[in-house]
Chain A
Amino acid sequence: MVAALGTLRELAHALEAGTCSAHELVRQSLERAEALEPALGAYLGLRAEAALREAEEADRRRARGAPRSPLDGIPVAVKDNLAIRGEPLSCGSRILRGYVSPFTSTAVAHLERAGLVVVGRTNLDEFAMGSSTEHSCAGPTRNPFDPERTPGGSSGGSAAAVATGSVPAALGSDTGGSVRQPASFCGVVGLKPTYGRVSRLGLVAFASSLDQVGVLARSAEDAALLLGVVAGHDPADSTSLPQPVPDYAAALSGDVSGLRIGIPKEYFPEQGGNAAVFERVRAAVAELVSAGAREVTVSLPHTRHAIATYYLICTAEASSNLARYDGVRYGHRSPRARTLAEMYRRTRSEGFGAEVKRRILLGTFVLSAGYFDAYYRKAQQVRTLIRRDFERAFEHCDLIATPTTPEPAFRLGERERDPVSMYLSDIYTVSVNLAGLPAISVPCGEVGGLPVGLQLIAPPLGEPEVLRAADAYQRRTDWHRRRPAEAA
């Protein structure tokens, strides 16, 4: 099989040195993706012809001495809930069958402006609702380390594509852990930026107060490079942050001396969970401490209610956001309807999968008369308590370290029949979305041959700090260099 691609940094050097062309890289990327599909299930579509053409344009720009950026001509993949003009946009849902985007999302437009070449659209749980990439109408993505296990989700396709090296990096989206949890399960780096750091224009809405575009890559350095490309204010997204984008790669000094790393006592239980996972994460923190960081104990007492809070808020927002899929303007329309009302009902019933229906119904319930205060408003109040927990903790530390997930990747089908057990795999990630904070998942070991992730969380706009600590860790360890056996 054609070899895995290197990191963004390595490929940028190779292009600059002229030891390879963008056309060669994109061809390698496409060939590798094709060789791994359909067994892996990472991609919903490859754009071979367009990508090769764009690569040739990149090569011509570079030959003229005018590359768009150091990353001009490097292949990347994009989760199939980000719009790309002229390309299908499915969100892994039957209801968007046949839909072709009439415009390009701001995040992808930033990729294009830097010359990055999108080689394919990656698989996801339908409308990003899930933690296993099993809820995709196209079928599941498999974990590159064990095909009987899930890659996590909902950005499972992006994580699997990066882990197997068909692309050096990819975009995902993270509403409740959907970048970090699959990154952890697939042994790659996943960064969810501060809410509003990356424009949501053209990211199909799931839960608008939580959704954020994130990056998946093999190293913290690559995550910094890619975040620098996609971050920034967008006048067309009123929730995008106006603050200037710092040079994230320049923040990677390797220096963590004096850094105070908070360990939330509630996240490291004496019992329960997978003890080996906690051990790996503790060892990773010890590594940072030996590099000069300081460990402090902090408390996040309300985060044990984060999952319940999250599922009330995200389903309420989803039930509202997904009202737009009615068969009138785009996507699937049931042919079996005589009246408009019948068309709405049948279109939506035929188009949405089980998990999406479950969440729409739950969201409809919590927003309905008589239940609103007890469920939705209550959850919004607990969201305030969770935010305050973080604010207090950050008075005593610079970063917070936790496991990304309590266990390594679970088996396909294992949790499909029990939604609550599926939701619990997000226990360490959802509180970060509720508080709108930046967080990264970094590979920090293996348990039973499966990758384990260390999550580092920072106060708002603390991307340089999480990236610096993650990079410092990776300078001292080589977990992020491991590849699944079949993709070595």
Chain B
Amino acid sequence: MSVDAPGITLEDLRRLADLARLELGDGEATALAADLARILGFVRQLQELDTAGVPPTAHVMELATPLREDEPDAPLPPEEAIRNAPAHEGTAFLVPQVLDSDEA
């Protein structure tokens, strides 16, 4: 598959930031768009390689899912698990309201 020279517009970057749940200031977004364009220009070199029929490597090991006996183990106590929470009530994590009229 061939790829066009990947220009990254500010609009592209805003869409990516939205997918990645990042909020970027204008200056930051402009700089990152330029960085990404430069990095994508660099990695374009891979397109010169013919990889037809080459299987992808997701992982270097021949992975088989290891199985074990289903024996109960001591869990992390909920009181300890919650200790790092920025806000909690009992052993529940507290978060701001989930739905907003313009973000539903």
Contact = CB atoms under 8 A, between A and B. Distances in A.
Interface of A: 98-100, 102-103, 195-196, 209, 235, 238-239, 241, 302, 305, 307-309, 311-312, 319, 323, 326-333, 337-346, 348-349, 352, 354, 357-358, 360-362, 364-365, 368, 371, 373-375, 377-385, 387, 418-420, 423, 434-436
Nearest to A420: B42
A364 B20 CA distance: 7
Given A102-B80, A326-B21, A435 B85 contact: no
Given A338-B97, A365-B16, A100 B84 contact: yes
A238 B65 contact: yes
Interface of B: 1, 3, 8, 13, 16-17, 19-24, 28, 32, 35-36, 38-40, 42-43, 45-47, 49, 51, 54-61, 63, 65-66, 68, 76, 80-81, 83-87, 93, 95-100, 103
B58 to A, nearest CB: 6
B96 A339 contact: yes
Contacts of B24: 349, 357
B16 A368 contact: yes
B59 A209 contact: yes
B46 A364 contact: no
A340 B56 contact: no
Contacts of A330: 84-86
B16 A329 contact: no
A349 B32 CA distance: 13
23 contacts: A238-B63, A305-B49, A308-B42, A328-B93, A329-B85, A338-B97, A339-B100, A340-B97, A340-B98, A348-B21, A354-B28, A361-B17, A362-B36, A364-B16, A368-B19, A374-B47, A380-B56, A381-B56, A381-B57, A382-B46, A382-B54, A384-B57, A420-B42
Interface pairs A-B: 3 shortest CB-CB: A436-B60, A380-B56, A330-B84
Nearest to B41: A420
Nearest to B86: A333
